[in-house]
């Protein structure tokens, strides 16, 4: 595994709409690098038919649709291996108005790889815009490094106003990390989609790892889906209106 020479990748679908519909659905899922090699992945996405996909540990290759047919996507690579890139990928039925891709300042232990972060802005059907932040948080490092990276996200978003979704695999596997995550969410005026380990959310030491936070939106429904064992994380699905 190697550090990526190119961080931001993009693929545009000719069928893309101009804006997200209202209401819209969002699927958040750590796919465990299985989106290209497990044929069930595309079938599962077709059944769910979400308007937004926030994937972590996704595999993607330049100029290829990454088994998310019908979607445009942007991705932030943190690992390159052969012809494949891996990282966070945000796909939508409409093209992003703007996208910013980042690598964590801290590297993981053992493999010395960064984690990736993607900020994408989309037009909404009511004329407003929605900022979507796809997170795969640092994992195998001390709590102080984890908190520093979360503060960096706060710095990116502090001056932004309006509808906002921050979601992904936050690796909040102890109380200190969980408290810091909720503190950052509170600082940004975010509400948490109330799904936890008792609902089937991937957890470690009893602490859920995957979260969806939102602001200036109305949560209409949420669920943890059964993916049939494609990944070691189960997908989170939420539906939002305004």
DSSP code per residue over 225-241:
---TTSSSSPPEEEEEE
> Span 202-215, mean pLDDT?
95
Domain that includes residue 42, residue range: 8-241
* Contact (Cβ atoms closer than 8 angstroms) between residue 197 and residue 211: no
Mean pLDDT of 131-153: 93
Mean local confidence (pLDDT), 117-136: 96
- What does pTM read for this prediction? 0.94
- Provide the CATH number for the domain around residue 92: 3.60.10.10
pLDDT tens-digit series, residues 87-100: 999 999 999 999 99
Distance CA 136, CA 104 (A): 10
Cα–chain center distance at 151: 18
Across-strand partners of 67? none
**Is residue 69 domain-resident?**
yes
In a domain, 158, yes or no: yes
Omega of the bond leading into 59 within 30 degrees of 0 (cis): no
63 pLDDT band, cuts 50/70/90, is low
What mean pLDDT, rounded, does the chain reach?
Answer: 92
pLDDT for 14 beyond 80: no
Q: What is the pLDDT of residue 64?
A: 65
Residue 231 lies in a domain: yes
Continuous H helices in 168-215: 175-187
State in Å, rounded, how far the first CA of the chain is from the last one: 42
How many whole angstroms separate alpha carbon 108 and alpha carbon 155? 21
For the chain, what is the domain count? 1
Residue 46 lies in a domain: yes
Answer whether residue 69 shows pLDDT above 60: yes
Q: Reply yes or no on whether the pLDDT at 15 is more than 80.
A: no
- Helix, coil or strand: residue 191: strand
Please report the pLDDT score of residue 172 as a whole number: 95
Between CA 141 and CA 99 the distance in angstroms is 27
The pLDDT, as a whole number, for residue 6 is 85
2 domain residue, yes or no: no
121 in any annotated domain: yes
pLDDT band at residue 66, thresholds of 50, 70 and 90? low
Considering the domain boundaries, does residue 3 fall inside one? no
Tokens of 9: 């990748």
Token pair listed for 145: 């490094």
pLDDT reported for residue 102: 93
pLDDT score of 229: 93
1 in a structural domain = no
Place of tokens 């993009």: 10
**How far is residue 116's CA from residue 108's CA, in Å, rounded to a whole number?**
12
Asked if pLDDT for residue 65 goes beyond 80, the answer is no
pLDDT of residue 217: 98
Are 88 and 116 in contact by the 8 Å Cβ rule? The answer is: yes
């Amino acid at each position: 595994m190697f550090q990526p020479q190119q961080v931001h990748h993009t693929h545009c679908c000719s069928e893309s709409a101009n804006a997200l519909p209202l209401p819209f659905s969002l699927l958040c899922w750590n796919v465990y690098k299985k989106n290209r090699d497990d044929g069930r992945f595309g079938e599962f996405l077709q059944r769910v038919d979400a308007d937004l996909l926030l994937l972590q540990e996704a595999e993607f290759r330049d100029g290829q649709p990454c088994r998310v047919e019908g979607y445009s996507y942007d991705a932030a690579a943190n690992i390159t291996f052969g012809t494949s890139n891996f990282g966070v990928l945000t796909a939508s039925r409409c093209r992003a108005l703007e996208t910013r891709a980042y690598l964590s300042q801290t590297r993981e232990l053992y493999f010395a790889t960064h984690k990736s972060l993607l900020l994408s802005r989309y037009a909404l059907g009511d004329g407003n815009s929605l900022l979507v932040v796809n997170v795969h948080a640092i994992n195998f490092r001390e709590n102080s490094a984890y908190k520093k990276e979360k503060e960096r996200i706060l710095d990116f978003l502090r001056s932004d106003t309006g509808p906002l979704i921050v979601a992904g695999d936050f690796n909040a596997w102890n109380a200190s990390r969980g408290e810091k995550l909720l503190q950052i969410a509170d600082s940004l005026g975010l509400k948490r989609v109330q799904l936890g380990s008792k609902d089937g959310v991937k957890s470690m030491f009893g602490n859920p790892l995957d979260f969806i936070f939102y602001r200036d939106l109305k949560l209409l429904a949420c669920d943890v889906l059964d993916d049939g064992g494609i990944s070691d994380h189960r997908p989170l699905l939420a539906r939002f209106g305004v």
